[in-house]
Amino acid sequence: QVQLVESGGGLVQAGGSLRLSCAASGSAFSSSAMGWFRQAPGKERELIAAISWGGYNTYYADSVKGRFTISRDNTKTMTYLQMNSLKPEDTAIYYCAANYRPLGGISTSRAEYDYWGQGTQVTVSS
């Protein structure tokens, strides 16, 4: 079992920055790939960043490359998403998720994620 709790969302002006945190508990965390997803109104939940269980491999959606950075600290069982140069189109609910022991160490398939946090709202104003 992995329990996930996101924090760090809020209201920010365009061009600003936020850092989201995902606190994990449960023995499976160290063997889980982690991902950050977001869901805007009327849209599907989409993967925007992922990191392998060892932290050596990452994935970013094209829409956030160069602006967002995913990282993890396995000793603290924390996963982070640093978001810079925020745009109004980044407004969404952001979720962290865990995929226990994915093949290849990292997962870019939403269906393979096993555990989900409750989400945190990010609103970017003009």
pLDDT in tens, the chain (126 residues): 789 999 999 999 999 999 999 999 988 888 899 999 999 999 999 999 999 998 999 999 999 999 999 999 989 999 999 999 999 999 999 999 999 988 888 989 999 999 999 999 999 999
pLDDT at 47: 97
Identify whether the C-beta of residue 36 lies closer than 8 Å to the C-beta of residue 18. Answer: no
pLDDT at 103: 85
Parallel/antiparallel/unpaired status of strands 10-13 and 120-125: parallel
pLDDT at 2: 86
